[in-house]
């Protein structure tokens, strides 16, 4: 599995870029909002337990993709340096444990 990790500030075009990439490469989109939307069904945004659930969902999705041979996952993420580095390293470790490759790209769409 290959993981392409598109990260940047909110509303900078990460999802637009991910969708465009997937028009020319077989793979799946794991948008940042998917895990957040799951957590919002149980918690208010940012409440105790919210971010822990978001991270569990993200890790579960990446593990499932790697375990089942998904060739490419393009993942969007609002990344805050250096706070989110440990989270990104956990994502990478899942991919690498399954013999995959990962790449982080700071996505900016110029309008």
Within a domain: 15: yes
Which range has the worst mean pLDDT, 18-22, 46-50, 81-85, 103-107?
103-107
Query: By percentage, how much of the chain surpasses pLDDT 70?
Result: 94
For 87, residues 6+ apart whose C-beta sits below 8 A from its C-beta are 55
Name the pairing type of β-strands 2-7 and 72-77: parallel
Residue 62 is part of which domain span? Answer: 7-106
The residue to which tokens 């409440």 are assigned: 47
| Domain tally, the chain | 1
CA 87 to chain centre: 10
Within a domain: 1: no
d(CA 29, CA 31) in angstroms, rounded, equals: 6
Within a domain: 111: no
Within a domain: 20: yes
Asked if pLDDT for residue 109 goes beyond 70, the answer is no
Within a domain: 2: no
């Amino acid at each position: 599995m290959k993981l392409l990790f598109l990260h940047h500030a909110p509303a900078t075009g990460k999802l637009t870029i991910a969708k465009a990439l997937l028009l020319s490469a077989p793979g799946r989109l794991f948008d940042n909002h998917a895990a957040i939307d799951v957590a919002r069904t149980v918690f208010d945004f940012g409440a105790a337990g919210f971010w822990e659930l978001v991270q569990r969902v993200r890790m579960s999705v990446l593990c499932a993709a790697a375990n089942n041979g998904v060739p490419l996952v393009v993942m969007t993420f609002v990344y805050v340096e250096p706070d989110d580095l440990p989270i990104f390293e956990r994502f990478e470790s899942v991919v690498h444990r399954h013999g995959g490759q990962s790449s982080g790209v700071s996505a900016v769409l110029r309008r």
